[in-house]
């Protein structure tokens, strides 16, 4: 069998994946391509024995993937991570087979994916969305408007909103009790708009639905008088977004992101927003400050005479 010891080891691993593991043809093709780049890299630095590969070699190869070279463009984090998976698979196989004493790739982690800032919409877009939810004066439109007002007005997760019972809301006091992850409860104020629309739904809309059901305590009900599902709530938002002509990806979590972003833009302390969102750590909430910093940069770049 021709080729260096590294290349022979790579072929043995690929054969193992094909014959013994039965991976798909597409997966095998991707692994073959990734391992070919790895073996070519080792050959370029004069390493032709799997036992001579060190953790430093794997780390430097990962850096090369991210930075690119004369023959290859830089890879994004996900693509570089996929290639590293192939490299780790090869050396894990060699270690388990006893061909090498240690696995040099075991401690090398894939690059973290780029942080994705939460998607928030503007206040005017929120208003368009909420107005579009109230089509006519039916029980359904009262419910839909109340649901979306509550999602935006409290920053509730969709599961928290549809999980609300009558006893969880004190409209007169203007407060709602939300149960978040791990059963952790928090009290969140109800704004005037949420109070108004929720009152209208409870007085003039909910009874239409509850008359068809079996006496569930849920606030938001479907046409059968049962608790509204997350899927139905998502459908309500999507329909309102279409009527409001809001393009792009819009989800119930978008309103939660917008709630947090608009509070911070209005001067709210990040720890207050943390409590309102029900985050266990303020670090989780601080991602929203990146949104507002980005907006500040954009305004600065457009407005300041010496920004460019």
Q: DSSP label at 218?
A: B
Give the integer Cα–Cα distance in Å for 158 and 231.
10
Placement of tokens 């192939």 in the chain: 86
Q: Known catalytic residue: 57?
A: no
Task: Pick the catalytic residue from 206, 227, 262, 279.
Answer: 279
Q: Known catalytic residue: 181?
A: yes
Q: Known catalytic residue: 76?
A: no
Give the integer Cα–Cα distance in Å for 256 and 253.
5
Give the integer Cα–Cα distance in Å for 153 and 160.
13
Show the CA angle centred on residue 296, arms to residues 290 and 300, nearest 5°.
145
Q: Known catalytic residue: 82?
A: no
235 in Cβ contact with 148 (< 8 Å): no
Task: Pick the catalytic residue from 157, 206, 227, 257.
Answer: 157
**Structural tokens at position 181:** 């992850």
Placement of tokens 């024995």 in the chain: 49
Give the integer Cα–Cα distance in Å for 284 and 264.
14
Task: Pick the catalytic residue from 128, 143, 227, 256.
Answer: 256
Give the integer Cα–Cα distance in Å for 280 and 193.
28
Give the integer Cα–Cα distance in Å for 241 and 250.
8
Show the CA angle centred on residue 144, arms to residues 141 and 149, nearest 5°.
125
Q: Known catalytic residue: 279?
A: yes
89 in Cβ contact with 39 (< 8 Å): no
Task: Pick the catalytic residue from 21, 72, 204, 253.
Answer: 253
Placement of tokens 């980005």 in the chain: 294
Q: Known catalytic residue: 33?
A: no
Task: Pick the catalytic residue from 21, 29, 181, 184.
Answer: 181
Catalytic residues: 157, 181, 253, 256, 279, 288
């Amino acid at each position: 069998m021709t080729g260096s010891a590294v290349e022979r080891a790579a072929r043995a691993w690929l054969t193992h994946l094909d014959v013994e593991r039965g991976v798909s043809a597409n997966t095998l093709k991707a692994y073959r391509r990734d391992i070919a780049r790895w073996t070519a890299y080792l050959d370029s630095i004069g390493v032709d024995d799997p036992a001579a590969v060190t953790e430093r070699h794997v780390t430097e190869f990962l850096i090369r993937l991210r930075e690119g070279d004369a023959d290859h463009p830089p890879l994004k984090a996900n693509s570089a991570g996929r290639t590293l998976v192939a490299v780790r698979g090869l050396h894990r196989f060699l270690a388990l087979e006893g061909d090498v004493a240690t696995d040099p790739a075991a401690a090398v982690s894939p690059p973290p994916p780029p942080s994705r800032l939460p998607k928030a919409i503007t206040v005017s877009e929120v208003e368009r969305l909420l107005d579009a939810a109230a089509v006519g004066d039916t029980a359904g439109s009262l419910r839909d408007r109340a649901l979306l007002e509550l999602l935006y007005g409290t920053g509730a997760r969709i599961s928290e909103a549809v999980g609300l019972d009558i006893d969880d809301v004190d409209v007169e006091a203007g407060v709602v009790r939300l149960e978040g992850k791990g059963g952790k409860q928090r009290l969140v104020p109800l704004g005037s708009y949420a109070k108004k629309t929720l009152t209208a739904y409870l007085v003039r809309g909910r009874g239409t639905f509850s008359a068809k059901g079996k006496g569930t305590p849920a606030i938001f009900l479907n046409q059968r008088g049962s608790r509204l599902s997350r899927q139905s709530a998502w459908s309500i938002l999507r329909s309102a977004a279409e009527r409001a002509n809001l393009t792009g990806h819009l989800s119930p979590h978008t309103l939660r992101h917008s709630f947090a972003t608009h509070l911070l833009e209005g001067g709210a302390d990040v720890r207050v927003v943390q409590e309102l969102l029900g985050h266990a750590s303020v670090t989780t909430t601080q991602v929203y400050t990146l949104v507002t910093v980005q907006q500040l940069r954009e305004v600065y770049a457009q407005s300041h005479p010496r920004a460019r």
